[in-house]
């Protein structure tokens, strides 16, 4: 019974995920690497009482400490005990992939090389002499594609055999370099202090470190009382630039075993790109694809959101209410309006998330996401944002929560954080009912104009805030922009489904905690002390602080202020709050329990959700009617000459106020406390300042 650790290493876009899926039967857990939003995948496979830990390391082009991905992979390989490296390379692009192969060999960890995409190799008539490569690199080389199921057993067999080996990888050096290297090796071997024994493997590992001027290796050298001058000459010979030359030379020598027409794998890609990156068509095509994406994500999922809402808040709530009817009414309220509604809130997002991750997965796996970065780079550059940030920000107009999760597709940690902080400025779908209500009450003739003005204010402020944030060191991105543009590939359905499954499960697991507490808190302050909202602690507090909001225009009515804390649960609750306070609508009264009938009802709702989501692709969904009595009640909130300005300011405040709890928890789970707090602070100060300015400025003009 032993435990082995197997690390999967390779360039980005070489199909590592597909290989881990295949070898682990797609059964692994996902987490984050400490401190960054880079996914960590780990699978445990048991074979004949032996345990194999498969670890997916972030895709890198080289070992180093510059980028986050590089730092994670390099540190892990250097500091953990690894029994075998499974190095995946793109067989259609060996000349570039081999640079990493050479660096990995220097670690002297048993390594298996897998040439992936062999189906494409055949298609492109690339000839690879696998045996010769294996001999030259001293590694077992397996040539398969991850969609080849026979490959699974063969690769597993190789891994199980290879973890017991202890191979020694000699450097690929020529003539003078080889001579200098061997001389140094011999010198160290012969002049080591008598109590030190270095195996052949350890000696080579040490020589590599010395070459790279590793501090630790240099110190060791001194402690062995070896000739300093010799070390100095050795290191100056193998200086950085020369080592690069050696690597180029070695890759060239390896490429002798590969026959291919140059650029053949980009032939099709080039043709597709001549449309998708076209001077005139490129950007319009992007906007077209993007509208399609938004359309699919939000239209397809809407009936399912309604279904889950119906199932939990009406059906399930009815039965829970009946089950707990013996409890005091405050505890009943807590269970139903606090906890169950919280769980429902989290779950209603699941259909949306599923479809979104699926769509994003297609964009990424096909290679179009990288094109988006190219298309929009010039436009986003002044704001220190990547073209990919644009995707997140636009998604934010639908819903801020998935928009924040979508920042994972970005390559740079600072840009991820900055984008996530800007997302709440994008006015999401849940804020729309509030605008519709207030705009139809106070701007009956210019409803759409007023709503558009609100959206534009959000967008404008996002860019202003981006400008301000990037003056802060934490968001200044001075890294050089360079990236690989992978060839277009058909996304593998299996890999996509796997991705979606993991992301959605992770979302549910993460979301429940904080959201529940917030729901309970908001419910309590609007319930106690005597179960009436008008007298609740929240209302009392709103009346106390209303003077603070008077300079913003809408502070003259305490209801408008008291509606805001609830908006943290979900923005649309603002509407429900006014409904409750102004029209004294009672909370839902549940119907009788008739479980046979109810099962029929749920089945019917399920069926109509199926039908509606399909129909929504072709038909326009019916617009929801606005409650005219509520509009009337709202329009009587303010009646002075500045009424419409006050109402407009309230809408602006709803737009800019602290994001909803789902968004906050997404920020917290993805980026930690600091970013979450920063967002809360920004979204407290900005709306106040903006509303203050708008009201003071325009009321001054009006009065004049």
Degrees to nearest 5, angle at CA 245 with 78 and 11? 45
| Cα–Cα distance for residue pair 254/134, rounded to 1 Å | 10
The smaller minimum CB distance to another protein, of residues 197 and 279, is found at 279
Residue with tokens 């913003």: 552
Span 622-641, contacts to another protein by CB under 8 A: none
SS (H, E, C) 240-254: HHHHHHHHHHHHHHH
Q: Could you tell me the sign of the dihedral formed by the alpha carbons of 151, 154, 156, 162, in that order?
A: negative
| Shorter beta-carbon distance to another protein: residue 128 or 666 | 128
Instruction: Determine which residue in the list 282, 429, 433, 576 makes contact with another protein, applying CB under 8 A.
Output: 282
Is the CB of 115 or the CB of 656 nearer to another protein? 115
Residue whose pair of structure tokens reads 């326009």 in the numeric block: 620
Min separation Cβ 221 and another protein, Å = 24
CA distance 22 to 498: 11
**Which residue's CB is nearer to another protein, number 99 or number 692?**
99
Backbone angles phi, psi at 638, to 5 degrees: -125, 140
**215/695 Cα distance (integer angstroms):** 62
Rounded least distance, CB 155 to another protein, Å: 25
Q: Which is nearer to another protein, 93 or 649 (CB)?
A: 93
Smallest gap from residue 377 Cβ to another protein (A): 5
Query: What track of x and - describes contact with another protein for positions 536 through 565 (by CB under 8 A)?
Result: ------------------------------
Q: Per-residue string for binding with another protein, 456-495, x by CB under 8 A?
A: ------------------------xxxxxxxx--------
The total number of residues shown for the chain amounts to 704
Q: Give yes or no for residue 93 binding another protein (CB under 8 A).
A: yes
The residue among 378, 486, 401 whose CA lies nearest residue 390 is 378
Tell me whether residue 174 is exposed, middle or buried, using C-beta atoms within 10 angstroms of its C-beta: 0 to 12, 13 to 18, 19 or more.
exposed
Q: Pick from 124, 147, 266, 290: which binds another protein (CB under 8 A)?
A: 266
Residue 49 carries which DSSP code?
A: T
Place of tokens 């509520």: 630
Stretch that binds another protein, among 71-79, 151-159, 259-267, 431-439 (CB under 8 A): 259-267
- 667 close to 680: Cβ distance less than 8 angstroms: no
Is the distance from CB of 649 to CB of 553 less than 8 angstroms? yes
214 near another protein, judged by CB under 8 A: no
Q: How far apart are CA 382 and CA 379, in angstroms?
A: 7
Q: Cα–Cα distance between 86 and 603 in angstroms, integer?
A: 49
What is the b/e burial string over 668-695, where b = at least 16 CB atoms within 10 angstroms of the residue's CB?
bbbbeeebbebbbebbeebbbebbeebb
Q: Is there binding between residue 124 and another protein (CB under 8 A)? A: no
Q: Does residue 95 bind another protein (CB under 8 A)?
A: yes
Smallest separation, CB 477 to another protein (Å): 13
Closer CB to another protein, residue 96 or residue 611? Answer: 96
Sequence-distant (6+) residues with CB within 8 A of 509 are none
Q: Is 269 in the site for another protein (CB under 8 A)?
A: yes
Q: If binding is defined by CB under 8 A, does position 62 make contact with another protein? A: yes
**Nearest to 502, CA basis, from 42, 88, 58, 45:** 42
Question: Which tokens belong to 567?
Answer: 């908006």
**Element (DSSP H or E) covering residue 379:** helix 368-380
Residue whose CB is less far from another protein, 148 or 214: 214
Decide: is 701 part of the binding site for another protein (CB under 8 A).
no
- Using CB under 8 A as the binding rule, whether residue 607 contacts another protein is answered as no
Q: What is the per-residue DSSP string for 282-312?
A: HHHHHHHHHHHHHHHHHHHHHHHHHHHHHII
Q: Judging by DSSP bridges, how do beta strands 84-90 and 111-116 pair with one another?
A: parallel
Instruction: Give least dist CB 134 to another protein, A.
Output: 20
Q: Does 99 bind another protein (CB under 8 A)?
A: yes
Q: Please pick, from the candidates 2, 29, 46, 64, the single residue that binds another protein as defined by CB under 8 A.
A: 64
| Shortest distance (Å) from residue 76 CB to another protein | 18
| Residue 446 CB neighbour total at 10 angstroms | 13
CA-CA distances (angstroms) from residue 386 to 151, 249, 682?
A: 38, 35, 22
* Range in contact with another protein (rule: CB under 8 A) among 109-117, 172-180, 257-265, 354-362: 257-265
Return the number of the residue (370 or 495) whose C-beta is nearest another protein. 370
Q: Which is nearer to another protein, 94 or 675 (CB)?
A: 94
- Coil vs helix vs strand at 658: coil
In terms of CB distance, is 378 or 673 closer to another protein?
Answer: 378
525 part of the interface to another protein, by CB under 8 A:
no
Instruction: Indicate the residue among 94 and 634 with the shorter CB distance to another protein.
Output: 94
Residue 94 in contact with another protein, rule: CB under 8 A = yes
Taking the complex as a whole, how short is the minimal distance between the CB of residue 479 and another protein, in angstroms? Answer: 9
Nearest to 203 by CA among 189, 213, 217: 189
Instruction: Choose, by CB under 8 A, the member of 179, 236, 244, 330 that binds another protein.
Output: 244
Q: How far is the CB of 103 from another protein (least distance, A)?
A: 9
106/309 with CB nearer another protein: 106
Among 344-352, 369-377, 495-503, 582-590, the segment contacting another protein (CB under 8 A): 369-377
Considering CB under 8 A, how many residues would be counted as binding another protein?
A: 42
CA atoms of 410 and 389, how far apart (whole Å): 7
Q: Binding residue for another protein (CB under 8 A) from 49, 190, 215, 240?
A: 240
Stretch that binds another protein, among 14-22, 36-44, 372-380, 400-408 (CB under 8 A): 372-380
Angle of helix 643-656 relative to helix 673-703, nearest 10 degrees, comes to: 170
**Least distance to another protein, CB of residue 378, Å:** 4
Which residues ranging from 289 to 348 are in contact with another protein (CB under 8 A)? none
Q: Distance between CA 276 and CA 290 in Å, rounded?
A: 13
**Identity of the residue, 116 or 682, whose beta carbon is nearer to another protein in the bound complex:** 116
Residue 402 near residue 352 (C-beta atoms within 8 A): yes
Q: Which of 20, 114, 375, 462 binds another protein (CB under 8 A)?
A: 375
Find the part of the chain contacting another protein (CB under 8 A) among 89-97, 403-411, 513-521, 597-605: 89-97
Residue ranges in contact with another protein by CB under 8 A: 61-62, 64, 66, 93-96, 99-100, 240, 244, 248, 262-263, 265-266, 269-270, 273-274, 277-280, 282-283, 370, 373-375, 377-379, 480-487
């Amino acid at each position: 019974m032993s435990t082995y650790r197997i690390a999967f290493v390779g360039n980005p876009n070489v199909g590592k995920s597909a290989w881990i899926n295949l070898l682990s039967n797609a059964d692994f857990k996902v987490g984050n690497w400490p401190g960054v939003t880079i996914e960590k995948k780990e699978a445990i496979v048991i074979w004949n009482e032996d345990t194999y830990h498969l670890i997916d390391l972030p895709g890198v082009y080289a070992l180093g400490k510059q980028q986050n991905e590089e730092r994670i992979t390099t540190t892990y390989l250097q500091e953990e005990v690894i029994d075998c490296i499974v190095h995946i390379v793109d067989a259609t692009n060996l000349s570039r992939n081999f640079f990493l192969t050479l660096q990995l060999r220097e670690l002297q960890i048993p390594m298996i090389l897998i040439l992936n995409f062999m189906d494409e190799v055949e298609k492109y008539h690339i000839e690879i002499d696998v045996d010769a490569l294996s001999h030259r690199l001293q590694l077992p080389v397996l040539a398969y594609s991850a969609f080849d199921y026979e490959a699974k057993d063969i690769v597993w067999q190789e891994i199980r055999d290879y973890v017991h080996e202890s191979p020694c990888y000699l450097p690929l050096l020529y003539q003078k370099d080889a001579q200098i290297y061997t001389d140094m090796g011999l010198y160290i071997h012969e002049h080591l202090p008598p109590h030190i024994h270095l195996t052949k493997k350890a000696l080579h590992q040490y020589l590599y470190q010395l070459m790279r001027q590793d501090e630790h290796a240099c110190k060791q050298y001194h402690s062995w009382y070896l000739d300093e001058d010799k070390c100095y000459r050795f290191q100056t010979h193998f200086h950085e630039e020369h080592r690069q030359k050696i690597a180029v030379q070695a890759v060239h020598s390896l490429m002798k075993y590969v026959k291919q027409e140059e650029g053949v794998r980009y032939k099709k890609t080039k043709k597709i790109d001549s449309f998708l990156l076209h001077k005139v068509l490129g950007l319009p095509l992007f906007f077209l694809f993007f509208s399609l994406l938004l359309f699919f994500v939000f239209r397809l999922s809407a009936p399912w959101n309604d279904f889950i809402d119906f199932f939990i808040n009406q059906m399930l709530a009815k039965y829970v209410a009946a089950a707990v009817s013996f409890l005091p009414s405050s505890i009943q309220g807590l269970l139903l309006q606090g906890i169950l509604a919280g769980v429902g809130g989290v779950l209603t997002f699941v259909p949306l998330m599923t479809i979104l991750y699926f769509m994003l997965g297609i964009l990424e796996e096909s290679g179009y996401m990288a094109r988006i970065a190219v298309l929009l780079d010039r436009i986003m550059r002044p704001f220190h944002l990547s073209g990919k940030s644009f995707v997140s920000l636009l998604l934010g107009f639908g819903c801020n929560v998935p928009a924040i999760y979508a920042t994972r597709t970005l390559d740079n940690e600072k840009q991820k954080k900055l984008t996530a902080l800007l997302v709440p400025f994008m006015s999401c779908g849940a804020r729309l009912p509030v605008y519709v209500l207030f705009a139809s009450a106070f701007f009956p003739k210019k409803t759409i104009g007023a709503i558009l003005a609100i959206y534009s204010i959000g967008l404008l402020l996002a860019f202003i805030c981006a400008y301000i944030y990037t003056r802060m060191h934490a968001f200044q991105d001075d890294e050089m922009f360079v990236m690989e543009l992978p060839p277009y590939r058909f996304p593998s359905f299996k890999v996509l489904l796997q991705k979606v499954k993991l992301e959605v499960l992770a979302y549910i697991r993460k979301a429940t905690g904080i959201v529940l507490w917030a729901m309970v808190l908001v419910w309590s302050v609007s319930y106690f002390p005597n179960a009436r909202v008008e007298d609740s602690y929240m209302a009392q507090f709103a009346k106390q602080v209303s003077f603070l909001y008077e300079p913003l225009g809408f502070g003259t009515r305490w209801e408008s202020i008291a509606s805001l804390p609830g908006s943290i649960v979900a923005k649309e609750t603002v509407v429900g709050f006014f409904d409750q306070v102004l029209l004294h609508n009672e909370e839902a009264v549940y119907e009788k329990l008739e479980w046979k009938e109810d099962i029929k009802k749920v089945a019917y709702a399920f069926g109509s959700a199926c039908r509606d989501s399909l129909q929504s692709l072709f038909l326009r969904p019916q617009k929801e009617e606005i409650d005219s009595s509520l509009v009337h009640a709202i329009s009587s909130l303010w009646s002075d000459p500045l009424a419409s300005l006050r109402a407009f300011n309230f809408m602006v405040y709803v737009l800019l106020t602290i994001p909803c709890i789902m968004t906050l928890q997404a920020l917290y789970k993805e980026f930690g406390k600091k970013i979450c707090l920063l967002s809360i602070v920004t979204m407290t100060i900005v709306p106040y300042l903006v509303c203050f300015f708008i009201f003071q400025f325009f009321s001054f003009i009006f009065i004049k």
